[in-house]
Structure 1
Amino acid sequence: MTQTQAVKDTPCAIVTGATSGIGTAIARALAAAGYSLFLVGRRAAAGQAMAAAFQAEGVRAVFHAADLSDKAAPDAIVQAALTAFGRVDVLINNAGILIHGTAEDTTDTDWDRLMDINLGSVFRLSRAAVPALRAQGGGAIVNIASDWALVGAKGALAYAVSKAAVAQLTRCMALDHAQEGIRVNAICPGDTDTPMLAAGITGAARAERVAEYGAAIPMGRVGTPEDIAGVAAFLVSDAAGYMTGTMIPVDGGATSD
């Protein structure tokens, strides 16, 4: 088998927001499951270093710098993944931003930016990926939503609305593509120990704040990126082959409380 053939015979996963937090953990989990990685993010230096680290471990990995607010980026991402690996089997829509605010606090600029990145990029990337997944006879899309897609959120209106819309996008695409073998599911994380949690707080103050968040969760702690990554790896596996259109809370029981 040639090296080129080996690349084409290895399933490929596109992971957005790959350079930190949940995205990095998902990339690691998929690498362990045997996927080639097409890593997408804004931070070129971090992304290139991440790809190089995977390559040193024998994982086929490519980093692609992209600003997902650019409406041309999704088509370019999918085409670049096809060029690099000859196929796309999995899309992980993880990239997103958080802006706090009530309706009165949220400016049109903040609203538009949140919707464009948290919802618009998921739509555009999924749309771009469908033909490539179809060409493989099927595949999996996993959208990272939020537990705030399932329940109301105080002081984060635009973010919560954007994630609720991602949940509905997930359901609709799951129905549209079920007979093509393209499964579309969403993970709804609760508070997770990533840079987005307690942003702007450092050191002991941050540890104290994270502990406060954890104390309010039934399981007594916030989630880890690996908690989310394990579910993502399951959803793209054959073990989840009869699952599509699902919203899976990974929140320590918060939405059950």
Structure 2
Amino acid sequence: MTTTEFEGLVAVVTGGASGIGATTASLLLSRGARVAVLDRAISGAPDGVLAIECDITDSSAVDTAIERVAQELGGIDVLINNAGIGAAGDVSENPDDEWHRVLDVNVVAMARVTRAALPHLRRSAHASVVNTCSSVAFVGVVQRALYAASKGAVAALTLAMAADHVHEGIRVNAVAPGTADTPWVGRLLDAAPDPSAAAAALRARQPLGRLVSADEVAYAIASLASPVAASTTGSILRVDGGMTSLRV
């Protein structure tokens, strides 16, 4: 399926040099957008994007990167707040500094990047923000206390942002993937005592019986960001193989 509904628009994707972010950047590019990716390491950024090294926990670096995008690509219409990091363990296992780090990257950085992009989004006729949430914001999963807390905050932040900016013509939505076939999940499996058994367990907890693909999440992100979805705001689209809503 090909379409060009993003023709003439500029999109920014954080964490856009790997995994879901890179797949999303490629999809937006194929649909006509001019795309910039912000990432700490840009070697995996898709061909054809403006790749900018940026630590999204650094306000000055974020402000500089966003202004560069606006200057070089001619504004900002779409912001995909995708960058994030994982954490494993129950509530007793993550030290304070890890809590601060994960919440900074997964939550505060979304506010940081959006804040920098807002002046440009306000000038767009098709302004859209899509945040990457997670199924763990809606269902309890073992050994994910810190990560779940961060993604629960993303869900709440998405709704608050949507309410704050709806009268400015800026739509804000989120996608909530289930367990996806990403490098982070791969590292978790590699570290498990029995990687094959761990992989089987991850597949089994999603009613479709498999991991979510990066392409599927990217499609959902692009669908929410699209100007064709002009009446969709304050929505959190679950792309989780039925994980949070089905009991089969």
Flag whether TM exceeds 0.5 (same fold).
Answer: yes
Report percent identity of matched pairs.
37
Structure 1 counterpart of 2:31: 33
**Alignment partner, residue 222 of structure 1:** 211
Give the unaligned 5+ runs of structure 2: 1-6
Note the alpha carbon deviations across 1:115-173, whole angstroms, 9 max, x for none.
Answer: 10000100111111111011123410000010111222321111111111111111011
Q: CA RMSD in A?
A: 1.8
The amino acid of 1:180's aligned partner reads E
Deviation at residue 195 of structure 1 after TM alignment? 0.5
Following TM superposition, by how much is the alpha carbon of 1:174 offset from its aligned partner in structure 2, in angstroms?
0.4
- Greater helix percent: which structure? 1
Structure 1 segments, 4+ long, off by >4 Å, are 205-208
Report the AA paired with residue 12 of structure 2: I
Size of the aligned set, in residue pairs, is: 238
- Give, in angstroms, the shift of residue 79 of structure 1: 0.4
Per the alignment, residue 189 of structure 1 pairs with: 177
Match of 1:90 in 2: 78
The 8 Å contact of residues 13 and 92 in structure 1, kept in 2 or not, is answered as yes
Partners of 1:214 and 1:194 lie apart in 2 by 13
Match of 1:126 in 2: 114
1:20 Cα shift?
1.1
Give the deviation of 1:180 after TM superposition.
1.4
Contact 2:17 2:43 in 1 (8 A): no
TM-score of the pair, normalised by structure 2: 0.90
Q: 1:187 to 1:194 in 2, by over 3 A?
A: same
Q: Mapping of 1:97-246 within 5 angstroms?
A: 97-199=85-187, 201-202=189-190, 206=195, 209-246=198-235
The whole-number CA distance in structure 2 between the counterparts of 1:210 and 1:193 is 10
Does residue 251 of the first structure (1) align with residue 244 of the second (2)? no
| Residues in 1 aligned to 2:211 and 2:44: alpha-carbon distance in whole angstroms | 26
